[in-house]
């Protein structure tokens, strides 16, 4: 992941992609007849989606990344994208729980 540095515009593109994905998830669940009040709290935030996109990219770049390396991968995301730091630490807290 160190080889790959995203600039601010790329982060904004990832956020737009995450928003689109969330809108699709909401629409799909609505078409299934689910009440938005029931599922909205289950959905990740835009920044959580971005962190998982970056995490997936890191794992795909290095297939040998073990599950116990999640902390290291997520920490690297926080270092490379300071605006995602609080989201990364919140996700790390949920992984530890």
Q: Which domain holds residue 21?
A: 8-96
| pLDDT for the residue 52 | 92
95 pLDDT tier (thresholds 50, 70, 90): confident
> 91 and 74 in contact (C-beta within 8 Å)?
yes
Q: Is residue 2 part of a domain?
A: no
Residue 47 confidence (pLDDT): 97
pLDDT digits (tens, 9 = 90+) for 14-56: 999 999 999 999 999 999 999 989 999 999 999 999 999 999 8
CA distances (Å), 21 to each of 62, 79, 84, in order? 25, 25, 18
User: What is the pLDDT at residue 57?
Assistant: 85
Is 13 a domain residue? yes
Query: Would residue 3 count as lying in a domain?
Result: no
Q: pTM to 2 decimals?
A: 0.80
If one counts the domains in the chain, the total is 1
- 1 domain-assigned: no
Mean pLDDT score across all residues of the chain? 86
Residue of 54 and 64 predicted with greater confidence: 54
Q: What is the C-alpha separation between 62 and 65, in angstroms, rounded?
A: 6
Whether 3 has a pLDDT exceeding 50, the answer reads no
Confidence (pLDDT) at 58: 83
Q: How many other CB atoms sit within 10 Å of the CB of residue 21? A: 15
């Amino acid at each position: 992941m160190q080889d790959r540095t995203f600039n601010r515009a790329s982060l904004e593109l990832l956020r737009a992609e995450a928003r689109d994905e969330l809108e699709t998830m909401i629409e799909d669940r609505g078409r299934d007849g689910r009440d938005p009040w029931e599922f909205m709290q289950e959905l990740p935030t835009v920044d959580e989606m971005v962190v998982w996109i970056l995490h997936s990219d890191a794992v795909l770049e290095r297939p040998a990344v073990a599950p116990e390396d999640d902390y290291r991968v997520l920490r690297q995301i926080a270092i490379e994208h300071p605006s995602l730091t609080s989201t990364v630490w919140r996700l790390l807290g949920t992984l530890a729980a």
